[in-house]
């Protein structure tokens, strides 16, 4: 069974309407700018927020591995953690939290059903996100099938870094894909995400050939992918598809991943790649390039 590391209610940027977004753990990509690095690993991970810590040492005392110590800089992890979760259960202030837990289908659907009215009235539904949800395709299909039985609109937010067979299985079980298109050049893609992009591009074409509805999401990151060459190549690729994306969402970069890495005790952007948020001018130029190629596009979404 895959783990869920977050559930976002009243999400308005994860597909049509107001949605409940379920974040599945595990991702084969390592995007430098990732907003959810706690989703990288398939296993549970511990997050520590120093400003919430009152130094009570309940976590230190309860840890069976003697893995935690209180220092002037807060709680330190000695690298022997087995992710048992005892410290997070004991922490009175939620300074320590565990990201990733198993949910029974029944418990998951109880959470989803609470939002049924708002989802239905807004034309929303449930979005499966990650991590990379197709990494645990059997579990993903089980959840999608259950949502389908309940007549809830299903969106899958994915990189499409998966086999064609798995993409088809998921396509049969969702109404909409949200697909990331980070950059067209394979070498650059590998540098910034640690995986090649040929399979991703093939799968975008596959989804399009199937006539399955999809939106494309392009993060706009100055220093990484906002150059004219990449944006034009992206637009040309999308315009060449037999079925166009319903919309291209241009997502403005911000470094929220930084705080998450600090809480995980890992390093944000360890290679020091220069990344900046796009100016208004860069955003409008990107929008213009998409529109010049006949694509429906907007900033954000």
**Site residues (CB under 6 A) for ligand SF4?**
46, 53-59, 62-63, 65, 67-68, 75, 81-87, 90-91, 93, 95-96
Place of tokens 């213009």: 288
Residue closer to ligand SF4 by CB (options 93, 240) is: 93
- Whichever of 46 and 212 has its CB closer to ligand SF4, that residue is 46
Please say which residue, 45 or 275, places its beta carbon nearer to ligand SF4. Answer: 45
Output 76 or 191, the one with its CB closest to ligand SF4.
76
- For the chain, counts of helices (H) and of strands (E): 11, 12
By beta-carbon proximity to ligand SF4, the closer residue of 7 and 56 is 56
Question: Shortest CA distance to 5 belongs to which of 55, 46, 50?
Answer: 46
Place of tokens 């600090």: 262
Q: Minimum distance between the CB of residue 98 and ligand SF4, rounded to whole angstroms? A: 7
Least CB distance to ligand SF4 at residue 5 (A): 15
Q: Which is nearer to ligand SF4, 81 or 241 (CB)?
A: 81
Phi-psi domain of 127 (left: phi exceeds 0; alpha: psi -120 through 50; beta: other): beta
C-beta of 131: minimal distance to ligand SF4 in Å?
20
Alpha-carbon distances, residue 111 vs 20, 105, 138, 205 (angstroms):
9, 10, 21, 35
Q: How far is the CB of 175 from ligand SF4 (least distance, A)?
A: 38
**Nearest distance from C-beta of residue 45 to ligand SF4, angstroms:** 10
Which residues, in sequence order, are CB contacts of 167 under 8 Å at separation 6+?
A: 134, 160, 203, 206, 207
3-state secondary structure (DSSP) of residue 255:
coil
| DSSP designation for 279 | P
Q: What is the DSSP letter of 276?
A: B
- What minimum distance in Å lies between the beta carbon of 60 and ligand SF4? 7
What is the distance, to the nearest Å, from the Cα of residue 55 to the centroid of all Cα atoms in its chain? 33
3-state secondary structure 100-131: CECCCHHHHHHHHHHCHHHHHHHCCEEEEECC
Specify the residue for token string 């296993």.
Answer: 43
Distance CA 251, CA 12 (A): 14
Shortest distance in whole angstroms from residue 301 CB to ligand SF4: 37
Residue showing tokens 């040492």: 57
> 154 - beta bridge partners?
126
If the CB atoms of residues 25 and 217 are measured against ligand SF4, the closer one turns out to be 25
């Amino acid at each position: 069974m895959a783990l869920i590391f977050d559930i976002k209610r009243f999400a308005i940027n994860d597909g049509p309407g107001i949605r409940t977004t379920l974040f599945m753990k595990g991702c084969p990509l390592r995007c430098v700018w990732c907003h959810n690095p706690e989703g990288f690993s398939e296993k549970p991970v511990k997050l520590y927020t120093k400003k919430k810590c009152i130094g009570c040492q309940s976590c230190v005392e309860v840890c069976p591995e003697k893995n935690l110590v209180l220092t002037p800089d807060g709680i330190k992890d000695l690298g022997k953690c087995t992710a048992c979760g005892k410290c997070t259960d004991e922490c009175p202030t939620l300074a320590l939290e565990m990201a990733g837990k198993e949910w029974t289908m029944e418990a998951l659907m109880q959470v989803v059903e609470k939002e049924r009215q708002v989802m239905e009235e807004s034309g929303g539904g449930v979005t499966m996100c990650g991590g990379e949800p197709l990494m645990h395709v059997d579990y993903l299909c089980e959840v999608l099938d259950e949502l389908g039985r309940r007549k809830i609109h299903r969106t899958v937010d994915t990189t499409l870094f998966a086999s064609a067979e798995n993409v088809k299985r998921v396509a049969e079980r969702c109404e909409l894909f949200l697909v990331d298109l980070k950059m067209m050049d394979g070498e650059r893609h590998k540098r910034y995400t640690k995986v090649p992009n040929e399979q991703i591009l093939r799968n975008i074409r596959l989804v399009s050939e199937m006539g399955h509805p999809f939106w494309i999401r392009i993060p706009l990151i100055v220093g990484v992918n906002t150059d004219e060459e990449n944006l034009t190549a992206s637009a040309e690729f999308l315009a060449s598809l037999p079925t166009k994306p319903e919309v291209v969402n241009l997502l403005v970069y911000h470094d929220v991943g930084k705080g998450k890495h600090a809480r995980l005790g890992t390093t944000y952007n360890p290679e020091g790649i220069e990344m900046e948020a796009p100016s208004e001018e860069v955003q409008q130029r990107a929008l213009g390039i998409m529109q010049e190629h006949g694509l429906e596009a907007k900033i954000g979404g």
